[in-house]
Amino acid sequence: MASTHPNLQHLRSSEDLVTPYAEVRAGFVALALERNRRATPTVQEARALKATAALAKTPAALLRMSGIQPALLTAAGVSDKAAGHMQAEDKKEAIKGLISKFLEPAGESFVEELVYRFLLTRGDTLGGSMRNVGGVLAQRKLIRAILGALAIKRCSYKWLPSASQAWVPMPKDDSDIELHLRGLSWKSKGTTRTLICSLTVPLVRNNVDMCLLGCSPAQCGDRSVYSDPSMYVAIGELKGGIDPAGADEHWKTARTSLDRVRHAFAERGTVPATFFVGAAIASKMAEEIWDQLTAGTLSNAANLTNPNQVASLCLWLVNL
């Protein structure tokens, strides 16, 4: 177990954990900006579709324009994922249905109708990807804070890119590597520590947001290491949703996950340090977290919107 009450380095009471209204507002603005950023390629696609479709004299003529068939399929309400399971003839029938039921009845406005329906399907896809954007942004923010803690210690590291199985040395310029990072490894007190993001822990058969292991990146290549309870130094849950309406539910999910971790590991004679980082923390939730910290049930916690708290927690983490 970690040293006693490391949270006292940055917390004095449960009130310190509560998310201020100004940070909630800033969080919603950040999500809106991210939504607009992600929507930009779709808007450009829609403009290109409109310019190309405008060359067709009639809706039926669209069938002969090979370059826009994927976009026509999207406008027909078929997602990219669904299209991957369809035969060429099925796709053609879907497009014919779009033309006969929606584009031809629109008359001279068929191009606008086509673009609207294209955006409708793309919007659903974008909405789906946005549901977890808070978690994605939260992970990036926490990883960047961990990198900052390592930099302060002048501690070199290796990192694992999301699209690779190969660990690579610390770059001279590590700007934006948190956008593509799913693993980080460094040495603490002469012992190698390896952090894995979003790992399914065999002992609990559930996905955990952050796992700090007492092993090297090379050892992580052997999946059996994840079944060894003695390898786990710390396990943490990260909840990046900023909407106060969902705060209690996020905490309940994280609390249940960490309780399951403690129980499963205790049965095997070991309990790793546990921590929680959340963006939306309400008063009642903060009191529960504080009670767990005071009792030693939870090793550390921080509000993601408070840079000082996050920095303190990350310094504790890299020193474990």
Asked if residue 32 has pLDDT above 90, the reply is no
User: Within its chain, how far is the Cα of 289 from the centroid?
Assistant: 23
Asked if residue 1 has pLDDT above 60, the reply is no
| Domain at 66, CATH number | 1.10.238.90
pTM as predicted: 0.79
Q: What is the pLDDT of residues 33-81, one digit of tens each?
A: 888 888 888 899 999 999 999 999 999 999 999 889 999 999 999 888 8
Q: Torsion angle of alpha carbons 276, 281, 283, 287, nearest 10°?
A: 0
Three-state DSSP class for residue 207: strand
Which pair of structure tokens corresponds to residue 55? 């060359």
61 and 108 fall within a common domain: yes
Residue-number span of the structural domain to which 276 is assigned: 6-33+132-318
Q: What is the pLDDT of residues 86-127, one digit of tens each?
A: 998 999 999 999 999 999 999 999 999 999 999 988 887 776
Has residue 45 been placed in a domain?
no
| Domain at 307, CATH number | 3.40.91.10
96 and 167 fall within a common domain: no
pLDDT at 200: 92
203 and 287 fall within a common domain: yes
The average pLDDT across 247-256 equals 91
For the chain, the domain total comes to 2
CB atoms closer than 10 angstroms to residue 233: 20
Q: Compute CA distances 6 → 138, 150, 173, 302, whole Å.
A: 22, 18, 31, 11
pLDDT at 37: 85
Instruction: Please spell the DSSP secondary structure of 182-199, one letter per residue.
Output: EEEEEEETTEEEEEEEEE
